[in-house]
Every structure is written in C-alpha cells, then in structure tokens.
Amino acid sequence: MAVRAYLALGSNMGEREQQLVRALKALQAAPGITVTALSKVYETEPVGYVEQGAFLNMVAAIETELPPLALLETVLAVEQELGRVRTVRWGPRTIDIDILLYGEERIDLPHLQIPHPEMTRRAFVLVPLADVWHGGPLPFWGQTIEACIRLAEDAKGVQTWGTLDWETGFDLSAN
Ligand code: GSY
C-alpha cells in the first residue's frame, strides 16, 4: 500500500533552481515514487553555518511503495546522480534531500531519523511544508505548522522565490 511521505529539497551552489528541477524529475522517474504535490520555491537565509549563500528550499509530497530504508537509498542515489557536492559539513551543497515524514512512522536509526528531528524548528522546512500539508497538527508534535513557524527563529529569512510549473515538466517561473 502506498504511503504519503514528505521530502525537503535544498540547494545553494551552482544553478540552484535547475538542481531542484533535476532532483524532482529523478524522484518522479524512480520506481515506487509518485510526486503528488510541490510547494512553492523559497529563497532562504542559511541557518547554522551562515557564511554561505542563500538556499532555494522547497517540499515535495510523494506517494511511495518503498519502505523507509529503500526510500532513503533512492534519495541518496538521486543526490549522487545529480553529482552532489558539499565542500564543508553544514556548508554549501548542490542538492540536499531529506525525508521529513513517512506516513505516521517513527524511525530511529543512526543514519535515518523520521520524523526529521530538526524540522519543527526550521522555517525553511515548515513554510514550504505548509503549502502541501493536508492541515491539522503534525504527527508526533501535535502542533500545527503555523504554531511551529511562529516559534522558528529563521522565519524572517524565508521569502517566496517562485513556483514550479507542474504542467510543463517543472519549468520554473521565478517571480
Ligand atoms: O538542512 C539542510 C541544509 N541546510 C539548509 C537549508 O536547506 N536551508 C537553509 N536556509 N539553511 C540551511 N542550513 C543547512 S545545513
């Protein structure tokens, strides 16, 4: 049975928007994954290691037949396929794809934590997630996304950048 999952995508090196598009196309082409909804694309100030360029962040809702570890393998394979480059830990990267939620399952492994432990503190994740979320409180936290955004320290650094045109194969129409 298909499970609804949410993926966060981010890029702050090179052709940021093209890397998001290529990642979405690769995810859509992967066996066992159907991309069902896309958030808007946001330009966001870096959080953590701040001496780096602004990110483009977005969230994709997917339906997947893959169990969580197979989904992780697919996500890592897509990052590799796109030639993921990350020069510094926490630093700039060509593409980053994180699994935020997988149905209502909790996974606590050294290399995979679901729900993503940082997600409710990061407006760069929460604001795009709100675009594709069905409403109601987040599982595990029991709070609405809007309540979490109000507490997120990076909320002011998240600006709408553009939208992906689903009908024309993810062509980007920036502001
Ligand atoms: O956690 C993902 C990588 N990352 C990001 C990001 O995607 N967006 C912003 N705004 N800051 C970030 N810091 C890190 S690390």
Q: At 36, phi and psi to the nearest 5?
A: -110, -25
Tell me: pLDDT of 170 over 80.
no
Ligand 1: which atom is nearest the Cα of residue 157?
Answer: 10
Mutate to test the pocket of ligand 1, among 51, 124, 127 (most ligand atoms within 8 A of CB): 124
Q: Cβ(99)–Cβ(68) under 8 Å?
A: yes
Cα–Cα distance between 21 and 40 in angstroms, integer? 12
Q: What is the mean pLDDT of residues 139-145?
A: 95
What is the pLDDT, as a whole number, of residue 122? Answer: 98
Q: Would you call 9 helix, strand, or coil by DSSP?
A: strand
φ, ψ for residue 138, nearest 5 deg: -70, 140
Predicted TM-score (pTM) of this structure: 0.94
**Domain containing 123 — which CATH number?**
3.30.70.560
90 in ligand 1 pocket by Cβ < 6 Å?
yes
Number of domains in the chain: 1
Boundaries of domain holding 26:
3-174
Q: CB–CB of 96/79 below 8 Å?
A: yes
